[in-house]
Amino acid sequence: MHDEVHPLEPFFHQAVRNSYEGKLGLHDPDVTGYVAHLLCEFSNTDKLYKMRDAMGRPVEELEAMFQAADPVHGTAPSFDAERAMRKYIGDYALFVGGMYPEANAQGGRRRGPHPSLSELIRAGKESYFIVSQFNVFEYEQEAPLFARLSDAFERCVLGLSLVREELKSRKSLPPPMIN
């Protein structure tokens, strides 16, 4: 699914594996690898907030994301665009739900209408399920992974929150790995 390895990917892979396998019993190397890569990708905020409104501001409202993903009643120009947007919604929901739960805390100060954790879980499960239904041609190999991500979405969010806690407890990142 990705070719280039981010310098932090081995570190994130180990952290995700420790959480998913070691603490949650989620033994799925493909899910672990996907989530580790997601952490690397979203370490760049331009990728985390790649969807922008007409003014160039990041879109964080799920309803606007759903509208952009709908090829029939929304603004998605094709079903391929729907798949890409639904994948992004699932990724966004997983990352924000696991790594930034305080952004979704009820009653906290917010600069906009951020989704609750339950809304993120619903959006993520649904979006990954829709991506899994694109199961022919070039998407055939990836479809089962997205079905598993949908099925285990809550555990994946919980596992990311455990990764977050592990990262917070460290004083610094590990030394670079030398091959």
pLDDT of residue 120: 96
DSSP state of 5: P
CA dist., res. 5 & res. 3, Å (int): 7
pLDDT of residue 134: 97
Confidence bin at 178 (pLDDT 50/70/90) = very low
| Predicted confidence (pLDDT) at residue 2 exceeds the cutoff of 60 | no
Q: Can you give the pTM of this predicted structure?
A: 0.88
- The answer to whether residues 90 and 133 touch, using CB atoms and an 8 Å cutoff, is no
106-150 pLDDT, tens digit each? 544 444 567 999 999 999 999 999 999 999 999 999 999 999 999
CB atoms within 10 A of CB 5: 11
Which positions ≥6 away from 165 have C-beta within 8 Å? none
pLDDT of residue 171: 62
pLDDT of residue 51: 86
CB atoms within 10 A of CB 58: 13
3-class secondary-structure state, position 126: helix
CA dihedral 71, 77, 79, 85 (to 10 degrees): -80
pLDDT of residue 45: 83
- The answer to whether residues 129 and 159 touch, using CB atoms and an 8 Å cutoff, is no
- The answer to whether residues 132 and 150 touch, using CB atoms and an 8 Å cutoff, is yes
Confidence bin at 4 (pLDDT 50/70/90) = confident
Confidence bin at 179 (pLDDT 50/70/90) = very low
162-173 pLDDT, tens digit each? 999 988 887 665
The better pLDDT of the pair 2, 117 is held by 117
39-97 pLDDT, tens digit each? 999 988 888 888 888 888 888 899 999 999 999 998 899 999 999 999 999 999 999 99
CA dist., res. 42 & res. 63, Å (int): 21
Q: Left (φ > 0), alpha (ψ -120 to 50) or beta: where does 84 sit?
A: alpha
User: Which residues are paired to 58 by β-bridges?
Assistant: 52
pLDDT of residue 174: 57
The single residue listed with the structure tokens 């639904």 is 86
pLDDT of residue 56: 86
